[in-house]
Amino acid sequence: MPADNSLKLRGRAEKLVERLAAAGIRAALDPESLREYSIKVVLPAGRVVIFYSPNKEAFTCHPEAVQDEGLWSAVLEAWGTDRPAAAAVKAGQLAELDPAAPVDIYVDGSCVGAATAYGVVAVQKNRPVWEEAGVVVTEEVDGTRQVAGELQAVLTALDWCRAKEIKAAAIHYDYEGIRAWATGRWKAKKAVTQNYRVAVAAAGLEITWRKVTAHTGVKWNEHADQLARQKAAAAPRPAGPAPDFMIELDEAADGFAGFLRQQGLEAAVKIRAEAPVAHIQLALSQGREGWGYLNFYGGPGKTPYLRFHELKPADRKRRVEKWWEEFKTG
């Protein structure tokens, strides 16, 4: 691998370990995990995978088998210490809304277990003037998992703008569907996306859409993400734990979806079923182009495995297969 990639990955990982140590969390660099574009840091429970994109000269971090939301929040704080913790902005610390100043709104969604939640924060002059987080009703999620949280964050922001008589705002998002469904670039096939598109069109708000990259230290995007994660983690759980095979399937699908985003692909959950066959389907896209579907399968006593037969054309299928091998060996 290129020597500069190795040095950069090690340096970023060591910095994270140092910051975690300062926060009282023991972590260690895993030197055997070093690959051309990634490296892992071992936590007290789970791991962090750090990816490096030479083209963007940017690092991102993703959880691997991290079940403790408090631990993951601490990792995000250490990853970018200039960001506020989600709990740091209290009602008394919110700035007063200035009707004449531009409004930037950051939205995000999260899915923890069976709970989907949203987080949204409005900012003026780099100070928060409003924030909110909530859980999305299960029936309204319709199998989309965190995507429903992303959409609900925008809808909640639209309601707030209407109540405050705000006529224009910039909405910062990290999932491409936020803009693509609203503008009609993506066809809305599910009720949740159809309702979203109609609501945005009827809002009467002049929206400037601004794409950000998740988990790269964008201050208020990370704040919205933490709001959503904490709300999802605190949501009541259904009776009985999720089957172990579904936990493994979720981890495999979520982990690979994060890896694909480093390659410039969006990966959205379209199907999640425990029976009759444990199955998670990811829809892949790049900009306006759909790449088809990936299908993860599992079950009691089975290691999650992946099928690529719904990816076309063949060169794209081969690329994703190659990335899957890199992900597994990483």
Q: What's the CATH number for 86-234?
A: 3.30.420.10
pLDDT tens, position by position, 102-156: 999 999 988 776 788 899 999 998 899 999 999 887 767 777 778 899 999 999 9
Strand pairing partners for 210? 172
**How distant is the alpha carbon of residue 217 from its chain centre?**
13
Left (φ > 0), alpha (ψ -120 to 50) or beta: where does 100 sit?
A: alpha
For domain 241-330, the question of CATH label 3.30.160 is answered with yes
Sorted by where each begins, the domain ranges of the chain are 1-81, 86-234, 241-330
pLDDT tens, position by position, 308-327: 988 888 899 999 999 999 88
- Which of 8-12, 95-99, 217-221, 261-265 has the weakest average pLDDT? 217-221
Q: Which two tokens stand for residue 92?
A: 């008394």
**Contacts for 244 with CB less than 8 Å, ≥ 6 apart:** 300
When pLDDT is averaged across residues 41-52 and rounded to a whole number, the result is 85
The beta-carbon contacts of 126-130 under 8 Å, at least 24 apart in sequence, are: 126/219, 127/95, 128/89, 128/93, 128/94, 128/95, 128/220, 128/223, 129/94, 129/95, 129/96, 129/97, 129/98, 129/103, 130/94, 130/97, 130/160
When pLDDT is averaged across residues 187-201 and rounded to a whole number, the result is 90
Ordered DSSP codes for 167-217: -EEEEEESSTHHHHHHHTSS---SHHHHHHHHHHHHS--EEEEEE--TTS-
For domain 1-81, the question of CATH label 3.30.310 is answered with yes
Cα angle 248-252-255, degrees, rounded to a multiple of 5: 130
Pairing of strands 104-112, 168-173: parallel
Q: Which amino acid is at 50?
A: I
The CA distance from 99 to 110, in Å, is 30
Asked if the peptide bond before residue 313 counts as cis, ω within 30 degrees of 0, the response is yes
When pLDDT is averaged across residues 268-289 and rounded to a whole number, the result is 78
